[in-house]
Amino acid sequence: MEVTQIRTDFPLLSRKVHGKPLVYLDNGATTQKPQIVIDAITDYYTEYNSNIHRGVHHLSQLATEKYEGARKTIQQFIGAQFSHEIIFSPGTTSSINLVASSWGRANVSADDEVLISAMEHHSNIVPWQMLCEEKGAKLKVIPMNDNGELIMEQFESLLSSKTKIVAINHISNTLGTINPIEEIIAMAHDKGSLVLIDGAQSIAHMPIDVVSLNADFYVFSGHKLFGPTGVGILYGKEAILNEMPPYQGGGDMIKSVSFEKTTYNELPHKFEAGTPNIVGGIGLGKAIEYINEIGFDFIIEQESQLKNAATNMLESIEGVKIIGQAKQKASVISFTINGFHPLDVGTILDQLGISIRTGHHCTQPIMDFYNIPGTIRASFAFYNTLEDIEKLRAGILTAKTMLS
């Protein structure tokens, strides 16, 4: 399989920015979309635009079939036992808020504990802070070392019978660290705790089997997986989801409504109030079909090559410091350049057509840990090339010259 051929599947990769060929290295923020996904979105709006579940007419039935077919595709993609364990949401953030609000309010009480890590995205910090403030519970943080790896001995000591849930990312969006979630899940379960895995940064880079992992919840966003924005997934074990109260009220999440009493629908509809992002779900299903065609063997090999080449390149440039040196690491590299603010470097790189991310990446506690204002982040996907890395190197050298 040739990367040059794969790149032709992504229309945006062929455009120019500021008159320069685009070098897109911001995949940790969002990925580009293959033509098959774009066509699926257009096809929905031009051929069978209709609401789902409620209509007996042909267009509604067709839209329902496509939408529920996407749910089954997602179920198979992550190895879930049942399709009704797949809950559509607006994204990772919404999925975490659903669990914190629904499961958390029903199960977390005063003096209970919620355990997160020092490398979490704000979306896996703030909802738990809000829950703990409301319930009088305690939020505890698994520390990390200077390499950006969790200190597992301290994790073990933080776990107790008071720990109701451990919420942790699979891969750090800032450091690229791949956390040992199999071990974390097993240790947490030994203490009777549930585990939520934030898979926003892992879902596009490695195969996921939620049954083998024994994860209680696994969440991710479609737009990180070459699918549309505004759609995501909450996977939850059937028994846990059944016990959780609804998160929102409205259409489709009910069986019957009277002014005296409402009875709620079965899974997955209990957690999908109102008209969903129909085209988003269908587009996400198509994105997964595309990923299945590419195959994770190719994706892992290609991204590993890119990560290693970019790491060697950055280490060869005077003044560059890579933030996060975990032994197990994905194709995400954050770095600083001594004497230069990340925003200034990012601005110059943009003028050269190079799209990277600068700032705190919604992980301000990580920046505080390293005592830095932010980083420059290059995040790679399987459609990136070694030529992209060479252009990044040249861009960094140009930025250094211009800012000196």
**Which among 48, 45, 68 has a CA at the least distance from the CA of 252?**
68
List residues bridging with 165 in a β-sheet.
114, 194
Burial 4-30 (b: 16+ CB within 10 A, else e): eebbebbeebeeeeeeeebbbbbbbeb
Find tokens 């065609």 and name the residue: 293
Q: How many residues can be counted in the chain?
A: 404
Strands (DSSP E) along 237-299, which ranges? 254-257, 262-264
From CA 279, how far away is CA 370, in angstroms rounded? 41
CB atoms within 10 A of CB 316: 9
63: three-class secondary structure by DSSP = helix
Q: What CA–CA distance (Å, rounded) separates 295 from 22?
A: 25
Please give the DSSP secondary-structure letter assigned to residue 125: T
Is 9 within 8 Å of 36 (Cβ atoms)? yes
Could you give the residue numbers annotated as active site? 362
Looking only at the bridges linking them, the beta strands covering 254-257 and 332-337 are unpaired
Place of tokens 């290609």: 302
- β-strand partners of 171: 178
Count CA atoms closer than 13 A to 265's CA, side-chain side.
18
Question: Is omega for the bond preceding 21 within 30 degrees of 0, making it cis?
Answer: no
Q: Compute the distance between CA of residue 219 and CA of residue 217 in angstroms, rounded to an integer.
A: 7
Q: In the beta sheet, which residues pair with residue 233?
A: 88, 220
Spell out the long-range contacts of 252-259 with Cβ–Cβ below 8 A and sequence spacing 24 or more. Answer: 252/53, 252/54
- Please state, in angstroms and rounded to a whole number, the distance separating the CA atoms of residues 219 and 240: 15
Q: Which residue, among 100, 89, 93, has the nearest Cα to 128 in the 3D structure? A: 100
Cα-only R_g, the chain? 22
